[in-house]
Every structure is written in C-alpha cells, then in structure tokens.
Amino acid sequence: MSEAEFDLVIVGAGGFGHEVLQYALDAVAAGGMHAHFKGFLDDLQAAAGITGHGERVLGTTDGAALSARDRFVVGIAEPGDRERLAGRIAAGAGAFATVVHPSAYIAPTATIGYGSVVCPFAFVGPYARLGAHVVVNTHASVGHDSVLGDFATVSPHVAVNGNAMIGRCAFLGSGSVVTPKCRIGDRAVVSAGAVVYQDVADGQLAHGNPARARAMPADPG
C-alpha cells in the first residue's frame, strides 16, 4: 500500500451509506481517490458482522479509529445524526476522508471540508465553500461564493444560488431553490420544492413558493 492510500470506513450501512460506498468505489476506479474499502460501522448490523448486501460490518459506531490508516466518512443523510456520529469518531481520534464522485464538477477555487460527500452530477461553483461533513447530493448545485456550514445537507436537484449562506446542520429538501444572497439558518429545514426568497432563521421550517417560514413542529417523540 502506498503512502497516499488509506483504508476507508463508512459509518452507517443504510441506503445512503451504500450510495457513499459506490461513489467512493467510482472515485477509486477513476484515480481520484487512493483507498481500499475496509467495511462499515453500524449499530444495527454489527452483531451480524455483515450487511444484507454482503459487505463487512466492522463494529458499532461508538468505536474509535481502528488503525492509523483508517479514514472515516459518515454515510447518514440526516444532519443531526451525521453530526452526532462524526462526534463519536472524532472523540476516538478518528480522521475523516472526503468523497467526490468523478462526475461532479468542482471549481478549482472552491473548497470542500473533510468528511464531505459530493455526489454524481453535482456542481460546486467558483469560490464556494463547503464546511466539514457536508452532503451535496445528485444533480444539486452550489453557486459561486456560497457558504455551506458544517453538516449541511443539500438534497437531490437543489439549487443553491450565488452568495447564499446555508447554516450548520441545515437541511434542504429535494428540488428546493435558495435564491441569491439568502441565508438559511442553523438547523433550519427547507421543504422539498420550496423556493426561498427571504432569509430563514435558525431552526425554522420553510415551505411553499414563495417559501414561508414557521417554527419547526414539535417532535411527537
């Protein structure tokens, strides 16, 4: 194994975790990532030691780094859960990898934080800045000079226009649009198909076209 290579461990063996695995394998095949897939960490499937698709499950998510060559990516789409699990790995001194699918366009002046996942056919424009553990899903776009906070999730077919600011752990639902210079607050949610013309405060839910923001519904649990 060369010095540039590492062992990839994906945290979460659900649907999105398997998508991240395929994106990583595609990146390896294209020469954009020098890694060997080691296995998943998953609380529900750790006892079996194997996923329903036959991949190895190394253990639960509360473990630390398994070896010095391990690099982790959290394959969970929900921002709060991704933040929590990344915190577990970081507490164990685990280091993180970034997965960028070879079909994605990343402007040379854009920056992408560690642990992030940029999915097939995504666009990240000039001078855009993605924080740590950000997900930019399939066919989503992040316009020039936009800033995405740590753990933000941009769902499929979302358009984040230029100079927008997306807060920490914000979630943008599929097909939503954030118009130029708008700010989406920390832990805010933009519903699928919503079109945001005005800022959305921290923790609010925005829905409709034009989007209207309101307090997040109480968790029934």
174: left (phi over 0), alpha (psi -120 to 50) or beta: beta
Report d(CA 182, CA 78) in Å as an integer: 22
Window from 89-93, 120-124, 131-135, 184-188 with minimum mean pLDDT? 89-93
Q: Which CATH architecture has domain 6-97?
A: 3-Layer(aba) Sandwich (3.40)
Look-up of token digits 């253990």: 59
| CATH class for the domain made up of 100-215 | mainly beta
- In the chain, domain spans: 6-97, 100-215
pLDDT band at 219 (very low <50, low <70, confident <90, very high): low
Average pLDDT, the chain: 94
- Answer for the pair 9, 67: CB distance below 8 angstroms, yes or no: no
Q: Residue 3 pLDDT more than 50?
A: no
- Answer for the pair 35, 28: CB distance below 8 angstroms, yes or no: yes
Q: Nearest CA to 105 among 92, 86, 91, 124?
A: 124
What is residue 1's predicted lDDT score, i.e. its pLDDT? Answer: 40
Report d(CA 63, CA 116) in Å as an integer: 20
Residue range 75-88, pLDDT digits in tens: 999 999 999 999 99
- List alpha helices for 14-167, DSSP H: 15-29, 79-91
Domain 6-97 and domain 100-215, same fold? Reply is no
